[in-house]
Structure 1
């Protein structure tokens, strides 16, 4: 068998599986074999909607024993009939000085464009929609767009842009990875501590527990544990004497804590 996959902007759009007869049609792909399959054959792609605007085709083989291998990947400019709804430029995502993530993109052509959706994932799969930006329309030759993620995840996050036509069709663009340093500790309350503990408040969305260690000024460990939510209460022993203590976290932060 041959496995033929078509991509647009790095996103798989269509897949066809082709067997080894002399000649056959599979969905939108027609295969014509030469003298024997070792010598290869010709693949003809029909003009069905799935294969329009494809800019990369990847070929794979699959034998009778379950072995799968890659034959070739070909990049090319799609032969397009009609006009693409959107021609995208300058698509990027960056951490801002305030810790937010800014997704930016520009268009030089818009036709029948409705809106864009911005999705995010922490695993490069199972994306969740976090924002929507309406299309500015075809009046201008160049449109700039942006979206601010005000609650970015700590660590690596993956962003994906999807464009929707007025008729409901959509096109996904390549996935962008953004690394946000795990500087998540913001505050301790109350400080000084007069009761049986204190509350730690973390910024952003916590996807991985943050380890903490509470030590006295001489470096002796008093307690340790993990923080797994944006606000978490950390208890203190009633026998802990008054003085100065240091709360250290696994992302390299240290905060001075006063006990009265």
Structure 2
């Protein structure tokens, strides 16, 4: 069962520095292929305005923007190796901020390509910087059957948010013993109803993990966390949104983990006579060395090794009787006895 918890800390929280964390909302656009077999769906979320100076601001400041992207395909015969071209421009006032999105798509974060200068010393916010327009350049000519996407520029305008009900400080995502723990902290809250925590696995579908009640209206730090059971290995994304008492929703955070449960490394049979199997191998794991109890190295290049994603089989016809230690590329080791 997934449960959410909140801790309240009394006192005054003081933030020093000019790094300014600004929250935005999602925008979405799509492009259909020539023949209509597939559609490219693109969501952009402007997460952070990064002010790149800790000094006082007499003459403006440098900044860039972190952008979360989610590129998915619907339909059939879509580009298995990615698009030929996918990049864009975010317009903040009179400044165009170029950004690149990996042509293979998926979910991730990109940053505008260079530092830009804001000529005044107002707080960095979407309203002050006028970040109200985004375009994407997209193309694909590798279909072979003519089901391509001609080079084109499409509008993908971000939504300009109103003042946030929640002052979001930071979050953390960790995994242990098959449970992902997602925690977050707010500096203050106003008119906040609850938080939504969603998860997306490799099937590219967002599912609601939990709903956690917010403090409501508070000028104190509030701490929250949820535990989420993970059953299979893979990459998992967690998205945090806040819902106010009016039903309006604001995106706050996106994090991901690569869950690879540790498998118990064993050798069977042990002791052995003619062959052994090493069980609990990680995907891509290889035998690095085999050493005797007297620290003598065995030439592994002359051995017959049969491997898959979970086991390695080793023939022992060339081995003398004794104790052996096997070292894997993951750094794990295991011992067996030849009799």
TM-score normalised by L of structure 1: 0.50
**Aligned-pair CA distance for 1:116:** 2.6
Aligned match of 1:48: none
- Asked if residue 132 in structure 1 is aligned to residue 210 in structure 2, the reply is yes
8 Å CA contact retained: 1:119, 1:161: no
- Asked if residue 200 in structure 1 is aligned to residue 279 in structure 2, the reply is yes
Which string of whole-angstrom CA distances, capped at 9 and with x for unpartnered residues, describes residues 35-79 of structure 1? xxxxxxx9xxxxxxxxxx9774333388xx945399xx9998x44
**Aligned-pair CA distance for 1:225:** 4.6
Aligned match of 1:248: 327
Aligned match of 1:91: 171
Q: Compute the RMSD of aligned alpha carbons.
A: 5.0
**Aligned-pair CA distance for 1:105:** 0.6
Indicate the structure whose relative CO is greater, using CA pairs within 8 Å and at least 6 residues apart. 2
- Structure 1 CA distance, aligned partners of 2:304 and 2:208? 38
Aligned match of 1:57: 132
5 Å matches for 1:161-240?
161-163=240-242, 170-178=249-257, 184=262, 186-188=264-266, 192-194=270-272, 197-198=276-277, 200-201=279-280, 209-213=283-287, 215=290, 217=292, 218-221=297-300, 222-228=303-309, 232-237=310-315, 239=317
8 Å CA contact retained: 2:241, 2:253: no
5 Å matches for 1:70-149?
78-80=161-163, 84=165, 86-94=166-174, 102-107=181-186, 108-109=188-189, 111=191, 113-121=193-201, 126=204, 129=207, 131-138=209-216, 141-148=220-227
CA 248–178 in structure 1, closer or farther in 2 if over 3 Å, else same = same
Structure 2: gaps (5+ residues): 1-21, 31-92, 94-124, 138-149
- Structure 1 CA distance, aligned partners of 2:196 and 2:250? 10
**Aligned-pair CA distance for 1:145:** 1.0
**Aligned-pair CA distance for 1:109:** 1.2
CA 74–110 in structure 1, closer or farther in 2 if over 3 Å, else same = closer
- Number of residue pairs matched by the alignment: 198
CA 134–75 in structure 1, closer or farther in 2 if over 3 Å, else same = closer
Structure 1: gaps (5+ residues): 1-7, 17-41, 43-52
TM-score normalised by L of structure 2: 0.41
